[in-house]
Structure formats: structure tokens, C-alpha cells
Amino acid sequence: MDVEQTLAKLSLDEKIELLSGVDFWHTKAIPRLNIPSLRMSDGPNGVRGSRLFNGVPAACFPCGTALGATWDTDLIRAAGVMMGKEAIAKAASILLGPTINIQRSPLGGRGFESYSEDPVLAGNLAAAMVAGIQSTGVVATPKHFVGNDQEEQRQSSNSVISPRALREVYLLPFQITERDARPMAYMTSYNKVNGIHASENVELLQGILRQEWGFDGLVVSDWFGTYSVAEAINAGLDVEMPGPTRWRAGLAKLSVSSRKIAEPVIDDRVRALLKTIDRVSGLGISIDTPETTVDTPQTAAKLREIAAAGTVLLKNEGGVLPLRKEKTTAVIGPNAAFAAYSGGGSARLRPYYAVTPLEGIQAYVPSTRYALGATNYKKLPMLSALTVAPDGSPGMEMRIYLDPPSQPHRVPVEAFNITDSTCFLNDYKHPAIGTNLFYAEVEGTLVPDADADYLFSLTVNGLARLYVDGEEVVDNETVQRPGESFFGSGSAEEIGRKFLKKDRPAKVLVQFTTAPASKLRRAGATQMGVGGVQIGGCPQTDAATLLSAAVDLAKQVDQVVVCIGLNSEWESEGWDRQTMDLPPGSDALVEAVAAVNANVVVVNQSGTPVTMPWADRVPAIVHAWYGGNETGNAIADVLFGQVNPSGKLSLSWPIRVQDNPAYINTAVDDGDVLYGEGIYVGHRWYEKTEREVLFPFGHGLSYTTFELRDLAVGVDGESKSEVNNTNKTNPALGASKTPKTLTVSGELVNTGDRPGAEVVQVYMSFPTSTVPRPVKELKGFRKIWVGVGKEDGIKRFQIHLDPKYACSYWSETSKAWVLERGTYHVLVGTSSRSSQVRQAGVFEIGQTSRWTGL
């Protein structure tokens, strides 16, 4: 495409049409000029395709914090290549990820999507992911630019961030990604930043992103994250998503005619889209290309490798791990027979498959026994797991109608089976439906395996009623209570009970009306046009009975794996967690099992930290995040030593939520969220305040041991070795000049008897700085595989740093980065914990300089 020639041929009406989506996932096509429609797709841990509801199965990667815990840029780049190929299989040219916001608090609903609390770790991994995705020709879209670090009132809240914290913490991951990988698109965040919505923030989009950093790609809004016409277009928001537009079309034309928007500005916005269309033209796909899968043995093997690489061995006293296959084994807990493969919200997708921890462990020990022990569902489990559709297939049948249930003899416009009774219909399309208001029935048959009281539930963005054998059991229509569901715009869960007889089929029917009929309007929630319904159901359980059975089983075996944690109900887009605690019953389960069996391994799955009041009473703890398709296999590989664990925490693990630096600064106060901790986010805060954590940032154990030797720091080719044993520093390097390069070198020695990988972490401290600085800041890292023996057990390494990025701070007075004259200490270790970090060298910068840009 000749972008300028094509732009010149477009009418003003056509230009404006190009600046918004036509539906939930696609841009506008202009056939007369051969301008195709582009498909966008989520997301951060896999490529869903063009349907949130009942989509084509996809590869589900480990969640963002799990990818962060790999600390492995090569592996993350390989994951990006896989995601690019998955996008092509789904006919998507633009992939909406990675998510690289910062976890200020463990309670952030989307914390699991992002890589790390640390901007350098997040930025380097994001750059690797973007490079991998774009190597396939697919556009990567880092998000959310910027300051979307919690979900409460996310569309209206104002992130009040000091200029220094904005630059050094929240923008820095995006800056590193732009410097190293040149993404072809960015997505704006929902929130305001210092009083102005990100999607209409001239300083962010034009001043920093385009002018200072030199970005020349596409800026797309978050879904329903556009709030104006002229302001957003003038600020640099190219495309409003989703469509059909709420803000552009005739309103934008009126803004041009009234001179609120100059037509050359419209041209700039269209030019960005045309450039993107041109850049992806080599993919050879269109929105008419059928969506397919890449479900191959090679895909499965790589997903398993990535999930295992991010699994973190937090504790291993007495050599409990690795487990022995010849020992009798029990697996207990709510996450054992359930695959917690992903968090919720836009990260959610329909996986090719999902392996539970129980299944993974049984592959090593087929005789493994199981007990539930406790439940951890927030809402009732999906009823579709217990039902069959009228044709006998697993799941339920959904029928779509244009008329309400009161209309006699109505005929469905479409009927199909579903295997997941979480039905979010916003991107559902049918040619007979021309409005967001329509109706549905969902039907399935349940055959109880015992006499029992069954619980049934409805959560809805719209209206819904549930009937069992013709009797109304749940009414979520007459009176509705606001809840957190459906991105904050849905109802609370309504529950009913009915006694069912063993082996007697019970017919369940749900009648649903879409979102326009809802009685709920929640301020600050993302209003989704069609909405959806979630249908839950399960036998009623007794907590004491479940716990007693688990304890009895634990007494009978040699080794026990307790699988606990959260899932997509607890960590999701649309709401924040209210507490850092595990679901009720989980802590009691761990303590009761540990009291009767000394060989207990606790496997926790969550995207962000949880409290562990029992941590000092169990010998081994493994943190497995949300591991994607291969969740269970990766956990088992680590537990049984097939994989030597090498994951490192991408987040500090506080003892209590009250210890977190943002604890008193996450509530929305009259519209504002004050980022009062400034630059002291995560490990920077805990070190500055000398506050103990349960496990520090960068922590992770191995089944072998490592030692760092012969550490040295080089400045522009000149090198000095590490501090000697008497703690007398070597003469400082580079005192007479401003260095261009820093090189940290040394040997990583495997002192154990197993091959394994260790992460060498490089931190910088600033003893002579004239401004407050953290005790130390992460500036570089490298994951290194080391064999065993005299030759294979030693690896020399070099880690190169740019002094601009390693040493500078942002000056609010100068409005620039300042590379300050003074002394700098280079610290190297295998964790952020002080006892695991030692000084590798000292250098000086002889003259202060300032810089902006990349």
C-alpha cells in the first residue's frame, strides 16, 4: 500500500469510519480502495480469537507473573513466537498484549496478567515477548498505557502519580520495550493519569510516546475506554474500540466542521492505521480466514517447559522434595482435581485442554489417592461440568431468540451446545440480530450420583431465572443486587436449593434476557452491550466432613501434596481482591494435614501473593501460579525432579497485606488514587523500611546449589575484580569520564550434583546521590544453565548495562533523566535479599549529564 496515495483518495466520512471498530474485534474495511478489515484479539497469556463466548480452542500460556518468574528473556521470546503463530491461526493481525502494568498491591484484580512489580524485569521480558510476536509479522500491543494498576472504578479513577514515580516505575517498562523491541501498537488504559484520561492525554500519547520516544505505530483504546471525540483524537488515540462507535462517526465530522479537530489531525490518525495495515499485509490472512488451532505435541512440550520454568520452589527443608515415585502418595485440596490454568477477564480463553495437578501427579504415581479437603469456589462451580445437553453431549444447549419467553410459539434463530456455562455474549453475532436486546434459553440434564441437596446459582448482566423440573429455584430478575461479575457491570450471585434423588434425571432450564434489560447501573464499571449469564451448581458439602476425610487419608500415606490457591473467580479483570487471604478452609486444611504427616508439600496457585500463616509449619512450599494448558504436568515435573526448579519470584511476598507499600493508598478517594509510595514499589519499599517479607523478590530455590565467583565490573573495557575479603573496595573505575558501557562478569558454579539453572541478578546502589534513592535497584539479570562436574559445572557470564538506564533518576525540576556525578556500587546476587547479594565493584561518574528520549 502507498499510504499517502491511499490517504489522499479517502473522503472525510471514510477517514472517520476507519477510526473506530465495526464490531467487538474488527476495524473498518474500505473495499473500493482495497483497505481490508483487521482483526484484533486478546491477549496477555494466549490468543483467544474473535469470540469471547464459545470460541475456537487456543493455547493457554502461563499467566504474566508466571512468565515473569522465569526471568528468561530467551524463553519469553520463544513464547512470543508461539503467540504470533497462534494469532495467525486465529486470523488476527493485532495481538492485544503483553500486559506490563506494575503490581502496586497484591490485591489488584489483574495483577496476574503483568510480569512484575519491578520495571526493569517487566520491561526486559516485555521487550522479549514483543520481539517474538512481531518476528512472525503480527502486531504486538503492550498495555495498558499507563497507570491501570487496580480495577476499582477503573474508568473514572484518577491515578495521582508524581512525575518521578511515573517515569522511574510506571512508564519505564514501556520505555524499555519501545527501546528494545519497537512495538507496532499500544493500548491506552481506562483511568485518568494526573487528572486526564489516558486516552485523551496529550502529554502521554503525543509528548512522551510519539515525540520523545519516536513511536510511529497505532494507538488503540481499551475496550469502551474512549470518553470523548475531539479530546481523544487530538491527543493521539487512533482507533476507538470496540465498534460500533459511540464517539466518532457524525460527531467527529461535526468536530472537524466546527474546527475542534483539524483535518490534518484526522489524517494523522488514519495514517497510523494505514501503516499498520501495510505492515501486516505480508501475513496473507483476512477476517474471512477460518480460525484454526496449533494444538501439536511441540506446542504442548513448549507450554510445559515454560510453565515449569516459572514454578518457584519457595521452601524445601529436610529434602522432602523431590518426591519419590515408589512412595505412597496422596493429593489433597481444592486445586488438586481442578485446573487453575488462568485468571479471569480478558485473559480468559477456551484452552485446547487443561491438565489438573492430580492428573499430572498420577502420571508419575498411578496409585495416587485423592481427597477434596475443602472447597475454594467464590461462586458455585459451573453447572455445565455436571450436565448433558438434550442430544446427550457433555454440557448444555443454548437457544437464541428474538422474542421473550412470554411470546408463545417463539422459534430460536440458532441453537448450539456449550461446555462452559459462563456465557459472556458481548461478541456473539447472528445476522438475524440487529440489537443488543435479545433472549436465550440454556438447558441441560443432571443425574445425581447420590441423594443430596443441590445448590444452583445465577450471576447475570441482564436478567435470568433458573428452573429445575419446571420449578423456579433461582430468581435473578425480580430484584437484583450489584456485584463484581462481567467486568463490574453484573449482579451478585443468587443461589437456590433443591433436593435431588440419586439416578433420577433433573432438567435444568435457564431463561436469560441480555444486558439492556438489567436493573443495575454501577458507577465506574465497564458497561458491556450484550452482557451474559453464569450458571452454577453442585451438591451441597459439609466443611467438617471434607476436612476429616482429608486428614484420614493423609495419615495413611508416605507423602502428601496439598494443592491450594485461588482461581479465575478470585483474580480477575473487573474487581480487586478484598483480602490477601486464601479462601475459607484452605489454611485449616494445610495445618490439619501437616499435623498428621511430616512429608507435606504445599503447592499454591495464585497470580499474586496470598497469606501463608502456616509457612513455618510445613517443610516444603511450591508456588505454581496459573500455568496454562500444562499446569498439572509442569507441577508434577518439578515435584518429582524431572525438572530442577529455577523460577524466581517476580513479586515480593509480604507477610501481611498491611505490610504492602500501597496498603493505605489503593482506595479511590473522591475519584483519586494517590500513589503515595512514590518510587518505593515492591522490594524497594521493603528494603527501604527494613520490613520483613515472607519471601523476597527474586527468591527461588533449586535441587542443586550455586556459587558466584570471580565477580568483576568493567567500565568501557577497563575492569576491576570484586571487593576483597577485608571489605576494602578497589579503586573506583571511570572516575574521570562518563562511561558508555558497564559489564558485569563472573563465574556461576554448580556446587551440587544436579544440572540446573540460576538467575544472576545485578543491582545498583547510589551512596553519594543527592536525591533519595532506593537501597538498591534491579538493573540487569541473566538466567544461566549449568551442568555438573569440573568442566560443565562452571559457566562464565557477562551482563552488559547501559549506564544511562542503570544510573539515572528522573528530575522533576529538569524534566529529564539525570546521570549524576558520584560513586555507584554494583551488587550481584541470586535474590534481592541482602544476605544473597554482594558487592562486585565500584565505579564513578565524573560529570553530571541530562538526557531524554530512549
Grid cell at residue 418? 456449550
Q: Stretch 800-815: mean pLDDT, rounded?
A: 97
pLDDT of residue 728: 43
pLDDT of residue 716: 83
pLDDT of residue 726: 34
Grid cell at residue 852? 531524554
Of residues 88 and 529, more confidence is placed in 88
The span from the CA of 137 to the CA of 92, in Å, is: 11
pLDDT band at 52 (very low <50, low <70, confident <90, very high): confident
pLDDT band at 54 (very low <50, low <70, confident <90, very high): confident
Cβ-count burial 750-765 (b if 16+ within 10 Å, e if not): bebeebbbbbbbbbbb
Positive or negative torsion for Cα 151, 484, 350, 111: positive
The span from the CA of 30 to the CA of 430, in Å, is: 22
Residue 69 C-alpha from the chain's centroid: 12
Instruction: Examine residue 146 and say whether the peptide bond preceding it is cis (omega within 30 degrees of 0).
Output: yes
Q: For the chain, give the percent of residues with pLDDT over 70.
A: 97
First to last CA, the chain: 30
pLDDT of residue 721: 60
The span from the CA of 809 to the CA of 815, in Å, is: 11
Q: Stretch 363-382: mean pLDDT, rounded?
A: 96
Closest CA to 682 of 121, 92, 234: 121
DSSP label at residue 687: H
The CA angle 117-123-125, to the nearest 5 degrees, is: 95
Cβ-count burial 60-94 (b if 16+ within 10 Å, e if not): bbbbbbbbbbbbbbebbbbbbbbbbbbbbbbbbbb
The span from the CA of 740 to the CA of 843, in Å, is: 12
pLDDT of residue 720: 65
Would you list the DSSP string of 197-233? EGGG-HIIIIIIIIIIT---SEEEPPTT----SHHHH
Q: Residue 16 — φ and ψ, nearest 5°? A: -65, -35
The span from the CA of 446 to the CA of 386, in Å, is: 6
Report the mean per-residue pLDDT for the chain.
Answer: 95
Torsion angle defined by CA atoms of residues 127, 131, 133 and 138, in that order, rounded to the nearest 10 degrees: 120
User: Exposed (0-12), middle (13-18) or buried (19+): which is 298, by Cβ within 10 Å?
Assistant: exposed
**In this predicted model, what pLDDT tens digit does every residue of 770-799 receive, in sequence order?**
999 999 999 999 999 999 998 999 999 999
pLDDT band at 80 (very low <50, low <70, confident <90, very high): very high
Enumerate the active-site residues.
Answer: 222
Domains in the chain with CATH codes: 1-35+183-279 (3.20.20.300), 297-377+543-683 (3.40.50.1700), 383-539 (2.60.120.260), 706-851 (2.60.40.10)
pLDDT of residue 700: 98
Residue 588 C-alpha from the chain's centroid: 29
Grid cell at residue 474? 433461582
Cβ-count burial 151-166 (b if 16+ within 10 Å, e if not): bbbbbbbbbbbbebbb
**In this predicted model, what pLDDT tens digit does every residue of 449-506 receive, in sequence order?**
999 999 999 999 999 999 999 999 999 999 899 998 888 889 999 999 999 999 999 9
Instruction: Examine residue 623 and say whether the peptide bond preceding it is cis (omega within 30 degrees of 0).
Output: no
DSSP label at residue 167: I
The span from the CA of 420 to the CA of 404, in Å, is: 24
Closest CA to 62 of 759, 755, 635: 635
Closest CA to 678 of 668, 688, 667: 688
Give Cα separations from 575 to 66, 109, 152, 336, 484 (angstroms).
21, 5, 6, 26, 6
Residue 635 C-alpha from the chain's centroid: 19
Its pTM surpasses 0.85: yes
Q: For the chain, give the percent of residues with pLDDT over 90.
A: 92
Residue 496 C-alpha from the chain's centroid: 33
Is 80 exceeded by the pLDDT of residue 521?
no
Least confident segment among 419-428, 435-444, 761-770: 419-428
Is 60 exceeded by the pLDDT of residue 829?
yes
Closest CA to 487 of 192, 244, 152, 53: 152
Grid cell at residue 293? 488451532
Torsion angle defined by CA atoms of residues 20, 24, 27 and 30, in that order, rounded to the nearest 10 degrees: -100
- Alpha-helical (H) ranges within 258-411 are 263-279, 297-310, 357-364
Is 60 exceeded by the pLDDT of residue 38?
yes
- Alpha-helical (H) ranges within 142-195 are 163-165, 172-181
Of residues 732 and 154, more confidence is placed in 154
Contact 133, 140 (CB under 8 A): yes
Contact 413, 433 (CB under 8 A): yes
Cell numbers 484526522 correspond to 266
pLDDT band at 263 (very low <50, low <70, confident <90, very high): very high
The span from the CA of 536 to the CA of 519, in Å, is: 21
**In this predicted model, what pLDDT tens digit does every residue of 703-714 receive, in sequence order?**
999 999 999 999
Cβ contacts of 788 within 8 Å, gap of 6 or more:
704, 750, 752, 753, 754, 755
Strand order in the sheet with 822-829: 777-786, 756-765, 822-829, 837-845
**In this predicted model, what pLDDT tens digit does every residue of 522-546 receive, in sequence order?**
766 666 689 999 999 999 999 999 9
Is 50 exceeded by the pLDDT of residue 723?
no
pLDDT band at 732 (very low <50, low <70, confident <90, very high): low
Grid cell at residue 23? 464490531
Positive or negative torsion for Cα 62, 65, 70, 72: positive
Q: Which residues pair with 623 in a beta bridge?
A: 312, 604
Cβ contacts of 508 within 8 Å, gap of 6 or more:
383, 387, 396, 443, 444, 445, 446, 456, 466, 467, 468, 535, 537
Q: Stretch 584-603: mean pLDDT, rounded?
A: 98
Overall size of the chain counted in residues = 854
**In this predicted model, what pLDDT tens digit does every residue of 324-353 receive, in sequence order?**
999 999 999 999 999 999 999 889 899 999
Of residues 220 and 523, more confidence is placed in 220
Contact 296, 33 (CB under 8 A): no
The span from the CA of 229 to the CA of 603, in Å, is: 50
The span from the CA of 242 to the CA of 269, in Å, is: 16
Is 60 exceeded by the pLDDT of residue 730?
no
pLDDT of residue 724: 38
3-state per-residue secondary structure call for 79-133:
HHHHHHHHHHHCCCCEEECCECCCCCCCCCCCHHHCCCCCHHHHHHHHHHHHHHH
